[in-house]
Amino acid sequence: MTSNPLLQKWSTPFKLPPFDRIEDDHFSEALDHTLENTLEEIDRIAESDLPPTFENTIEAMEKAEEQLNDVVGVFFNLLGSCSNEARRKLEIEFSPKFAKFSSDISLNAKLFQRVNHLWQMQSELSLTQEQLRVLELNRRSFIRSGCALDEEAKNRLRYLREELASLTTRFSQNILKEENDWYLEIPEDKHDELPEFLIEGMKNAALERDLMGHVITLNRSLIVPFLQFSNRRELREIAYNAWVGRGANKNDNNTEALIDQILKYRFELAQLLGYDNYSEFKLEVEMAKSPDQVRNLLEQVWEPARKQALADRDVLQEMLHEDGINDNLKPWDWRYYAEKRRVIEYDYNEAQAKNYFQLNFMLEAAFDCANKLFGLTFKELDVPLYHDDCRAWEVLKNGQHMAVFIGDYYARPGKRSGAWCSSFRSQRNFGGRIRPITVNVCNFVKPDAGEPCLLSFDDTRTLFHEFGHALHSMLSDVTYGYISGTSVARDFVELPSQLFEHWMELPEILTKFGLHAETGEPIPASLLDKILKARNFDMGFATVEYLASAFVDLELHDNLPPSNTLEKAEEILQKINLPPEIKMRHGTSNFSHVFATDGYSSGYYSYMWSEVMDADAFECFLEEGGPFNQETAKRLEKHILSAGSSKEADDLYIAFRGKLPTADALLKKRGFLST
């Protein structure tokens, strides 16, 4: 018996982690214990004298990792959303341990022999289609991990993986420190033109840092509206440069040397495994298959998007001159003049619309759509969670428990920036009916006590996007956790999330749930019409800044590692002729998608790849009777949302739609192609 709650069987409701009993001191023991025990169990499987079977090899491997997955799920979720000094130190200590653990399994020759034997004998085994798929993916993983290499190459791979784990961890922590440490005081005499919601958010941001007055931080939900509404050009410049310059400052948080080394090690790792470069290695198992396929998509969208952005630039430049500023439009000017232009052309501004987008009601809207589409209901729970800001719901379908959904929506020090979906536990039916515990994390500005949290239209889109990921997790219905939920190709995983964004824009949803924060009146049809007509407003800018990041990510990984990554990134941007008034959505020095983890390295394009499918998939709903057509929703659930990675992504999409899409639907959706 142990007093460590992470190592005990959880008797909590729905077997939630016992958050109210977990302390930082528990993690080190629990991580060490579960890593050691899991590896011992894996070694027993590899060393077994019994002939390999699916049960004593593949299923045994999955069972061996159950407790480790529980502990790791708690640690990394809390590290991302509630970081502190103790947890950051543990991350540094354990990152190479996790890399070593992974290598000890993936480079275990005897274990691979058992898996490979099963693969070779598959025609003689009575395996289900799902079991064959799990076997195939396990074998592919061993081969891509280098199990077939000689011992010298294997040892070098081990070293590279452990070093990369340490480097990406340091990158992540440096960016978090930059975001936590920086703020800009905004005196009250410089609040002119700032909307009330932003002033309130600045005040709360100051209080979180034990300061009086008002401050801007590097939280996107603060800095973007500041750039939209502040008429103080000199302050916009300071804030913008701090935002895009994270990681490039001459201080202890500088990431330049880290990303240079990350790229060098990734390139060497790919070459050891027999690939020309890291992009070739990463993209082999994605829908895109190759860098050329990715480049083809990005180039199809680049020229129409750039053409639109340049036309918009000329309009904003003229507005700048009309304000008496004898200068060229700068990146810190774009959002300010775009917002002024929106008011002129569409007769509404973000501040006006924001009163109708309350977090609680937008959550209800997401739940309502999930109910209409998939029959899900949500019952709020009163259970201990990891932070007082979190809320939890039991998710039910036809009265049957489907999942626990946790929402963690407010920005705070120690939470990394951005928005994401994660799991404390994944779905599986092996070993019993195990349902997921899924969490959505965002960084919305927390309101004063008793006041509603008001979202921008883009914030609301983010909420629906992450909830789409959550649906992919919560509706999963496969036997093995290895392929459940969002464990799919990187350029397929964004399909459910981006598809669900479409329901946020439906007039019947916004009319029902878009209630004014003070009067309770539904959003007027005239304002709603303006918002929806303006949905593609400034789309040239949004597409160009995204594509710039995608091009840089692809080219950095599809070539020899540069001696100076930041200089190379600038060369790439010059080559594609990025307008100087627009910067990358994620600057190279703070590109966490790519350098804080390996998840989106050479894969940032995947949002657009998935958007090709999401635009086509929503067209399917409209063609077949409307956005809530039940037959279409059933196919979406059966072939995509519940299917995990039980088949190749192409096959899953064709099973739903009947064919693969072209880029035309995306170009039309973004307003670059006439309907």
Active-site residue set: 466
Q: How far apart are CA 649 and CA 491, in angstroms?
A: 9
- List the beta bridge partners of residue 89: none
Cα–Cα nearest to 627, from 476, 458, 483, 504: 504
Decide if 163 contacts 260 (C-beta within 8 A): no
Give the single-character DSSP code of 379. E
Lookup: tokens for 596:
């804080």
Q: How far apart are CA 135 and CA 119, in angstroms?
A: 7
Decide if 321 contacts 427 (C-beta within 8 A): no
Give the single-character DSSP code of 640. I
Q: How far is CA 49 from CA 63, 135, 157, in A?
A: 19, 20, 29
Strands 400-410, 437-444: pairing kind: parallel
Give the single-character DSSP code of 447. P
Q: Taking the CB of residue 150, how many other CB atoms lie within 10 A of it? A: 8
Decide if 144 contacts 269 (C-beta within 8 A): no
Q: DSSP of 203-241, one letter per residue? A: HHHHHHTT-SS-EE-S-HHHHHHHHHH---HHHHHHHHH
664: enclosing H helix or E strand: helix 664-669
| Amino acid letter, 650 | D
Q: Maximum distance among all alpha carbons in the chain?
A: 83
136: enclosing H helix or E strand: helix 129-144
CB-based contacts of 434, cutoff 8 Å, min separation 6 = 425, 426, 427, 428, 481
Q: DSSP of 62-77, one letter per residue? A: HHHTHHHHHHHHHHHH
